[in-house]
Homo-oligomer: A and B are copies of this chain.
Amino acid sequence: MKEDIDKKSVDLCALYGEPEAVILANGDYPTHPIPSQILANAPYVVCCDGGADTYIAQGHVPNIIIGDGDSLSEENRRKYSHILHHISDQETNDQTKAVNFLMEQGKKNIVIVGATGKREDHTLGNISLLIDYMRAGANVRTFTDYCVFIPCRHTHTFSSQPGKQVSIINFGAHGLRGEGLVYPLSDFTNWWQGTLNECTGTEFTVHAEGEYLVVINY
């Protein structure tokens, strides 16, 4: 079982290579073995504010904590003040501050975990921000307890397995066409239209001009 998960995790990471840094966002703390293992193996960990509490409680120390500390426990705010990086910017959320911080350090291969669950508007925001991070030059993807979100521009081919559940969320791309998927793709105008597709073989291709999110369920 552990080996299977290791292989799955490696396969999924291989999409963009091993991350230089992992961001633990402030949604539900990861419980699935894939995001958990990515976090455990991370060479550099940025926690978004309150996300640090659970991470620290599990015996880890993040490299840095981004945020204004208002959702961090008082004890951790005091104890880890030396790694608490306060960025005051009302226009961006903590996840974006963390991505910007890493990009400024030249770390472009980034994985985000803990970005979903809890408030749905936060989930929608965190997921859709991947498109902006891609535009800024980041190789970024979000691993949740169910799937990986990958922001894409133009045509891409993905390793997969037969029967794997795949969704394509269109962000204005044209000429959408799939290969190796059960249901045809088109220039979707609503999110649900590209959901619940399925891979037929060991890889699938999305042909497109423009931006979209690929969601691969574990």
* Interface members, chain A 165-179 (any B CB < 8 Å): 165, 167, 169, 171-172
**Residues A121 and B171 in contact, CB atoms below 8 Å apart:** no
Chain multiplicity (copies): 2
Counting CB contacts under 8 A, is A100 at the interface? Answer: no
The residue on B at minimum CB distance from A165 is B121
Q: Is the CB of B125 within 8 A of A191?
A: yes
Cβ contacts under 8 Å, A120 to chain B: 116, 123, 127, 144, 146-147, 149, 215
Within the assembled complex, what's the spacing in Å between the Cα atoms of A217 and B121? 9
A196 engages B125 (CB within 8 Å)? yes
A contacts with B, residue count (CB < 8 A): 34
Q: Is the CB of B196 within 8 A of A121?
A: yes
Beyond contacts A121-B165, A125-B192: 13 other A-B pairs, Cβ-Cβ < 8 A, are: A116-B120, A117-B117, A118-B146, A120-B123, A120-B144, A120-B146, A120-B149, A122-B195, A124-B124, A124-B169, A126-B192, A127-B191, A132-B192
A interface residue numbers (CB < 8 A to B):
93, 116-129, 131-132, 144, 146-147, 149, 165, 167, 169, 171-172, 189-192, 195-196, 215, 217
